[in-house]
Amino acid sequence: MIIQIRQGTEQARLESLLAWLRSQGIDPHVSVGSHVTLIGCVGDVSHIDIDLVQALDVVESVQRIQEPYKAANRKFHPDDSVIDCAGHPIGGGNFQVIAGPCSVESEEQVVGIAKAVKAAGATLLRGGAFKPLTSPYSFQGLGKAGLDMLLVAKKETGLPIVTELMSQEQLELFDDVDVIQIGARNMQNFDLLKEVGRSTRKPILLKRGLSSTLQELLMSAEYIMASGNPNVILCERGIRTFETATRNTIDLTVVPVLHRLSHLPVVIDPSHATGVARLVHPLAVAATAIGADGLIIEVHNDPPHAKCDGAQSQTPEMFAETMKVVQSIRPFACR
């Protein structure tokens, strides 16, 4: 962190700022120029409130040199993290496809879809049992019964399961879940992030919030990692913009940008990013080509009658077509 001191600042006031920085465990190095005085802060500044420093009378400007996230930062962990999802590694050249319905609706539905997506090449099964829907009048998910149906599908197909956790109280039901999804609406539920950091080592699929920056996404990953769980997978599912042609707006450059900033794997969700089933295929293909570490795709046997997100759900046939192209781009990576 570099602090530029306001011109004309009295020495005594500068000294008192230096004393405060030292009291925060920082070693301040002052460089006095003819017009500008700078303080270079050496040491761990992650706990310093930059806005507070910026607001001081004697401060002209403050610049952070280092990102505020450490555990998720590639600078401190140059190699890609490879996250083991129940025998299916993701990251570091390993590519996985997670597919399944938005919500679990019945045992027959989820088992049927699981078999179809497995046959097409998916390596993990998704399905929501606890649903974070915008309207309280919409289907809220089958809860515990839905989890049990996912477990049946896992038993029948061998596909590990990925499902969303909405609150700490549900965690005791998640013993047999393989990957815990934290949804976009909970990306900044810090108590929930701390809990999945503290109490489990299961992989956490962390979705980007509807209007969150990449730095905020990485800070949320940092919450989980700093609490003890290093197994975080970042998921881009589009953000809210002024554009209305698609449900959300996705910028696929997040993949190389996140890969540069962080060692964590990056998964793209073309279903929530577009909200339109026919757009899922081209986006999935592009995400694969740009270097994503995986995809998460909604598939439904009967989209017009789906209890949620039918408009963006691929049929098993559409998914199989998408997988053919995805596998032609990443022929050996999907295991």
Per CB under 5 A, residues contacting Mn ion are: 102, 309
Structural tokens at position 9? 């600042």
> Which of ligand PEP, Mn ion, none does 237 bind, CB closer than 5 to 8 A by kind?
ligand PEP
Q: Which does 194 bind (CB under 5 to 8 A by kind): ligand PEP, Mn ion, none?
A: none
Answer for the pair 87, 46: CB distance below 8 angstroms, yes or no.
no
In terms of C-beta density within 10 A (0-12 exposed, 13-18 middle, 19 or more buried), how is residue 53 classed?
Answer: buried
**Rounded to the nearest whole angstrom, what is the least distance from the CB of residue 41 to ligand PEP in the complex?**
37
Q: Which residue shows structure tokens 């730095």? A: 215
The single residue among 154, 272, 281, 307 that binds ligand PEP, judged by CB under 6 A, is 272
Using CB under 6 A, pick the residue from 104, 184, 204, 299 that binds ligand PEP. 184
Largest Cα span, the chain: 77
128 and 311 Cβ atoms separated by less than 8 Å: no
Q: Find the length of the chain.
A: 335
Minimum distance between the CB of residue 248 and ligand PEP, rounded to whole angstroms? 8
CA distance 192 to 175: 16
- Residues in the interface with ligand PEP (CB under 6 A) total 9
Q: Which residue is nearest to Mn ion (CB)?
A: 102
Question: Which listed residue (118, 202, 207, 300) binds ligand PEP by CB under 6 A?
Answer: 207
**b/e code 142-166 from CB counts within 10 Å (16+ = b):** beeebbebbeebbeebebbbbbbbb
Q: How far apart are CA 104 and CA 106, in angstroms?
A: 6
Contacting residue, 237, 263, 300, 330, with ligand PEP by CB under 6 A: 237
CA neighbours within 13 Å on the CB side: how many for 77?
18
Work out how close the CB of 244 gets to ligand PEP at its nearest, in angstroms, rounded to a whole number.
17
Query: Are 71 and 225 a contacting pair, CB within 8 Å?
Result: yes
Are 114 and 153 contacting, i.e. CB atoms less than 8 angstroms apart?
A: yes
Nearer to ligand PEP, 92 or 132 (CB): 132
Distance of CA 248 to the CA centre of its chain: 16
102 lies in the site for ligand PEP, by CB under 6 A: yes
Closer CB to ligand PEP, 9 or 140, in the complex:
140
109-168 residues in contact with ligand PEP (CB under 6 A) are 128, 132
Closer residue to ligand PEP (CB): 157 or 248: 248
Residues facing residue 266 across a β-bridge:
234
Min dist. Cβ of residue 306 to ligand PEP (A): 11
d(CA 24, CA 48): 8
Binding mask 39-78 for ligand PEP (x = CB under 6 A): ----------------------------------------
Of the ranges 14-22, 37-45, 182-190, 322-330, which one interacts with ligand PEP (CB under 6 A)? 182-190
Distance between CA atoms of residues 107 and 130, nearest Å: 15
Piece in contact with ligand PEP (CB under 6 A), picked from 44-52, 177-185, 218-226, 319-327:
177-185
Interface residue list for ligand PEP (CB under 6 A): 102, 128, 132, 183-185, 207, 237, 272
